[in-house]
Amino acid sequence: MITKKLIDQIEGEASLYFELENNKVSFSTISFGEFRGMEQILEQKPALDALVLTPRVCGICGHSHLLATVRALEDCYAQSGNPLTLSNKAQTIREVTLIMEHIQNHLKWIYFTILPSLANLDALPKQNNQLKGAYGASLCAKVIALFGGQWPHSSYMLPGGITSDFTNIELLQAKNILEELQIFVEKEVVGSELEDFLAFESCKDFNNLQSDVATIEKALLNLEMQKKGLAYDRFLVLGKHSFSLASKVLQTRVFQADAKYISIKESFSPHQKSYAKNALYKEKYYETGPLARAIAGNSKIIKNMHRRFKDSTYSRVMARVFEMASFVVTAKELLDKVDILEHSFISPKDINKISAKGVGVVEAPRGPLIHEVELEEGIIKNYNIVTPTQFNIGSDTTQNPTPAQKAMLGVSKEEASFIFKSFDVCSVCTTH
């Protein structure tokens, strides 16, 4: 028997088609049925138009798309023999705004997706906690707006730097907002000082917490999610940042990785047309996102979870929670290093004279985001976008399931829907 389930409480929506045996999922296919076509819109446009268009691929991670575009255009300069110089100030502020976008995404996912979904599974009482997530996310948006001018869909990054020439007053405002954000995360989200929370080394350390994270952790254990949602136990990180290096991880063994080994495959969606495609690394599926970054980055608490529970739904959810908390500290450390006297922007050669191919790779909230562009005298001839959801939530056959398909095997369709959401799905990024 095949059962269709429309999945909401994600970024966009998706259709799951479950094949059931004894009320357990024996196979599922995934369809993203809404076409957006951003790649086609970009063709024949002036190169810098991409800085306005690509942030509108997504209403959650527009900064990630902006940075990927800028990196791709800067790579075009480098490939044409005109490499650019970026100030430390510009690089740091780009990183801060990206990290703030990660935090707001994770907070929305915790309060708009995970907590309500756990309540739907009767793992905890139904509560209206969404305003908490909205409050925390709004603080992140305020920091981004101080440097980027607005959020979402800012275009403040350019090849050569950033357009904002902020003062000490804006820098101090950003630091004050981060202090407020830290207080909120400590009091409401994790239930302890961040320094103590991030020093956890065992899952037993959650036992004394009174917080939303503690509530989530107990609910996951009650649902036995530490035994469910297992995928391939291999992970991929491709973006190079202050918080990540390009790596592939096989269980706990870390190896170097390079985006040049990415390939794209048509999705298998026999019951409904899907506008998403699958992304593979060296012809294999890898999981991306916070769990991948945590294991590659040698996080003590996440490696402890992984040693006990492998790439389970429990590990996947808790890794995103810990990344959110750690990024608050990282953003504060980065802002302390900013020298406002440095140049924000170092003017490059006229992009209308650039003919080359470039690639920009960024670690977005859900994992590697890749933008590929081909320019001919500053005009976009081809544009290609590979998103994290294409790695995690592709749809393939029974012989070669994607991470999400494999993770949903052997559980009820209600549990499978929750496991699906644990990957932090974004359909609007994927159907471009």
**Is 0.75 surpassed by the pTM of this model?**
yes
pLDDT digits (tens, 9 = 90+) for 209-234: 999 999 999 999 999 999 999 999 99
- What does the pLDDT read at residue 10? 64
CATH number, domain containing residue 247: 1.10.645.10
Q: What domain range is 238 assigned to?
A: 2-430
Max CA pair span of the chain: 67
Q: Which residues of the chain have pLDDT under 50?
A: none
The H or E element spanning position 368 is strand 367-376
Going by C-beta distance under 8 Å and a sequence separation of 6 or more, which residues neighbour residue 225?
312, 313, 314, 317, 418, 419
Residues 6+ apart with CB under 8 A from 279: 262, 263, 264, 265, 386, 387, 390, 391, 394
Q: Are 400 and 284 in contact (CB under 8 A)?
A: no
Domain count, the chain: 1
- Phi and psi at 10, nearest 5°, equal -130, 180
pLDDT digits (tens, 9 = 90+) for 309-358: 999 999 999 999 999 999 999 999 999 999 999 999 999 999 999 999 99
Model pLDDT, residue 249: 96
Of residues 372, 358, 343, the one with CA closest to residue 77: 358
Residues 265, 251 contacting (CB under 8 angstroms): no
Q: What pLDDT is attached to residue 251?
A: 81
Residue 131 confidence (pLDDT)? 93
- Edge to edge, the sheet with strand 247-250 lists 234-237, 247-250, 253-256
Q: Which stretches within 253-381 are classed as H helix?
A: 290-296, 300-309, 313-335
